[in-house]
Amino acid sequence: MQPSADSLQAGNYIGALMQWRDMQTEYDAFFSVVDLHALTAPQDPAELREKTRRTAAQYIAAGIEPSRSTLYVQSHVRAHAELAWILSTITGFGEAGRMTQFKDKSQKQGADNASVGLFTYPVLMAADILLYQTDVVPVGDDQKQHVELTRDLAERFNARFGETFRVPQPVIPRETARIYDLQNPTSKMSKSAESHAGVLWLLDEVDVTAKKIMRAVTDNDGVVAYDRENKPGVSNLMTIHAALTGRTIAQIEDEFAGRGYGDFKKAVRDVVVAEFGPVRERALELLDDPAELDRVLAANAAKAEAVADATLADVYDRVGLLRRAV
């Protein structure tokens, strides 16, 4: 994830971090705070550094274990930028231009304000993936197209220069991962929302989180039933409850039949506070000792570098770049 806010939000936690935490038991996992990607939007340098630490601290607090997985800052491994350049030379202008995220963001920013970095964002993402000979990539629907481009580039490079990259498979999390704004439940919960009243931040104080949930938009019929089209507000709260408790939507509907939204909101509040409270506490502990956090990130960057540099050396040999004499 990009370090583009002071805190991650519930959608990041449920849609990504919970999935990543579980994947650690099955895979040799690499997780990155993608600060180079964040530069596609204007950043204050001091704030970017602080947000990078805060994002890494929340990864760890949410259960990403640096001793078990490799958790690093993207810019700490220079091979990302170097491989991105090589991959850009085999990427068609047309295929890069067809990426829907670029189209959407460039339309919002205006053609004259959209940067080349935004245009080549998917190529850097491909480098992020291919450097580590990745088998599977957990992604949301909005990133699946980028992983398809990554697969195309890997296959193209392999066909042209010989077998070099593993071709990764995208893994899309279950539907319960999509979390919506509490005040505007037809829009995805996002750090860029006009109002933060409907955004559950991991680092919000407990009473702030509780108030946001109790004030969440629902509807007038008072029936706790899942219906995304006609009851988006209560359906969103049910999704959050189900994701954090492991219960099914049907079980939640049975439990709260005839009880109304007041009781249900209190239950959601209690579940969210119980889940996010310890994450907030642990993240703040980590941020209280930035030198130790930086040490952990540096050690993990060295682990990532060992893998990435080996891949990059192979790539350089295959494309014909002259090795520097020792």
Domains of the chain (ranges; CATH) run 10-177+289-319 (3.40.50.620), 206-284 (1.10.240.10)
Does residue 112 have a pLDDT over 80? no
Question: What is the pLDDT averaged over residues 153-163?
Answer: 98
Tokens of 312: 């990059």
Q: Binding site membership: which residues?
A: 2-4, 11-12, 128, 140-142, 179, 188-192
Report the distance separating Cα 187 and Cα 207, nearest Å. 24
Rounded-to-10 torsion of CA 115, 11, 152, 162? 100
pLDDT of residue 106: 61
In whole numbers, what is the pLDDT of the chain averaged over residues?
93
Write down the pTM of the prediction.
0.92
* Residue 144 a catalytic site member: no
pLDDT of residue 176: 46
Q: Binding site membership for ATP: which residues?
A: 2-4, 11-12, 140-142, 179, 188-192
Tokens of 224: 């706790």
Residue 314 exposed, middle or buried by CB count within 10 Å (0-12, 13-18, 19+): middle
Give 197-245 pLDDT, tens digit per residue.
999 999 999 999 999 999 999 999 999 999 999 999 999 999 999 999 9
Q: Binding site membership for L-tryptophan: which residues?
A: 128
Report the distance separating Cα 15 and Cα 265, nearest Å. 21
* Residue 105 a catalytic site member: yes
Catalytic residue among 144, 188, 211, 303: 188
* Residue 303 a catalytic site member: no
Catalytic residue among 144, 191, 211, 266: 191
Question: What is the pLDDT averaged over residues 49-78?
Answer: 98
Where are the extended beta strands (E) located within 260-324? none
